[in-house]
Amino acid sequence: MKRISALFLCLALIFTMFAGCGAGENTDESNRKTLVAGATTGFFGAESLDVAHDWDGWIMSIYGISENLFRLDTDYVAQPWLVEGYEQLDGCTWRFTIKDNVYFSNGVKVTAQAVKDCFTRTYETNERAQTTLAIDSIEADGQTLTIKTPDENPTMLNDLCNPLLGIYDAGGTVDEVLGVSCTGPYKAVDFTAMTEVSMVKNEYYWGTQPKLDEVRLKIMDDANALQMALQNGEIDMIAQLDAQSADLFSDTETYTIKGVTSSRSDFLMYNLNAPGVDDPAVRRAIGYCIDRESFAKVVYNHYAQVCYGVYPDIFEFGKTDSLTLNVDRYDVDAAKQILSDAGYTDTDGDGILDKDGVSLSFSVITYSYNTASIQLCDMLQSALAQVGIGMEITTYDVLDDYLQNGEFDIAVLSYAMAPIGTPGYFINMLFTSGASNNYGGYSNALVDTLADELSAEFNSERQTDIVLQICQEIIDDRPFDFVANQQLICVWNNKVTGVEVNPSEYYLITADLDIEE
């Protein structure tokens, strides 16, 4: 997920951001329940409060501002949320009945026409929408919404869980600061992009009455400051806790800590147009220089799952039993042998291998605010030096332009691979030719064909078989190196109740959250 860091703002705010009412503080005058939560840019950082803008719908689902027609349970199964019923009329046509008691936070009723208008605006605004869910036509009649897709879609209900398809009032005014009116239990009353958001309960909320009066969310990219804020009682919860800091909150009388394995992966993306990196032998050698076990154990404090395949094995399509792995361990000597066999030598004695005028010295970019990604780069740099590969690490608050312009040899990234529980999300975003986030220029005709087959396959066993075939192609070609699947770790003061950590990473702020005084 692509986020802009506001580190320089956060540092300036560290000593002032908690002025006023303390965390969880009620005053006699107002008797308000307030919860304050903190996280880094990667989890809480929104550029706007417009569901249709870039990836902000994702963050708004975490905030508890936006909701979808369907919602994922903890097993990634899509459950009706803003709909009371649905039926598939034929292979391409679905009919949904919108609940009759749902209102936007501005008091406007949610009708089928409102949902249609919402989708129309989102599809006009965000280029990812059509690849998220291809729609041929939408019809609205009262509370009945009929969606026709150009082709049969076996993942329709899960696709409708994607936060990009969150429901908002497209007919209302889009506030320059507070964005669009949604249906969630909370609505924003103050917002500073990438810094903080203040919310109050949505008086029109259709579901269980929110237990909190106010929620304040703080973005802090200084992990130490974030941890101290919880220890000092300045905040009540940390979302997406740095795994290395988990031991700080081992006092179960004061804190509750929970981690669930998500589909988020730390991985390397290779620029296949870059000299040296375009050689499969070099990419395989680099794969052998990634110490996945130490990364999961040391950097993630055991809160991560090592990956030598593609997807995490929490999914059937993530298991590697039937795959042939061409890298299955950390082995610097194996990397040296591969490079030697491929004809790379140090012709000028500078310690860097070269061949035909191409020197194996690469520029690596990653996020400035993601400590795990930076540590992975440091570990890889040390290992590559042992085999004669140079590596220069550069961190950026914003990676987008560098990725889109191909200004990298290797990018160390962190993406959720199956946030709605379906493998096609990641395949169509990174693996297919010309995909939106396929910045390395990978193209494989068989993968493209298999991706098309997957998009129309309803049989779950056949789906898994197709995905495993795609995974084998990725392993053989090595346009990416998948390292580990991290857990989503949240920690909170025990006075906070009603917390559910969903592996999808959505739905953190819910109507069930409460705080004891």
Beta bridge partners of 34: 214
- Of residues 223 and 115, more confidence is placed in 115
Q: For position 517, what pLDDT does the model report?
A: 73
pTM of the model: 0.81
Mean pLDDT for the stretch of residues 473-480: 98
In contact, 339 and 388? CB cutoff 8 Å: yes
- Residue 131's pLDDT is 85
Across 17-33, average pLDDT? 52
How sure is the predictor about 30, in pLDDT bands with cuts at 50, 70 and 90? Answer: low
Q: Note whether 59 and 45 are within 8 A (CB).
A: yes
Per-residue model confidence as pLDDT tens digits over 135-164: 999 999 999 999 999 999 999 999 999 999
Residue 176 CB contacts under 8 Å (≥ 6 apart), including other chains: none
CB 408 within 8 A of CB 396: no
The secondary structure of 51-89, three-state, reads CCCCCHHHHHHHHCCCECCEEECCCCCEEECCEEEEEEE
Query: Per residue in 191-239, pLDDT tens?
Result: 999 999 999 999 999 999 999 999 999 999 888 999 999 999 999 999 9
Work out the pLDDT band at 35, boundaries 50, 70, 90. Answer: very high
pLDDT of residue 398: 87
Q: What is the mean pLDDT of residues 29-40?
A: 86
Looking at the chain, the whole-number percentage of residues with pLDDT higher than 70 is 94
Q: What average pLDDT does the chain have? A: 92
Residues 6+ apart with CB under 8 A from 148: 92, 93, 94, 135, 136, 137, 138, 139
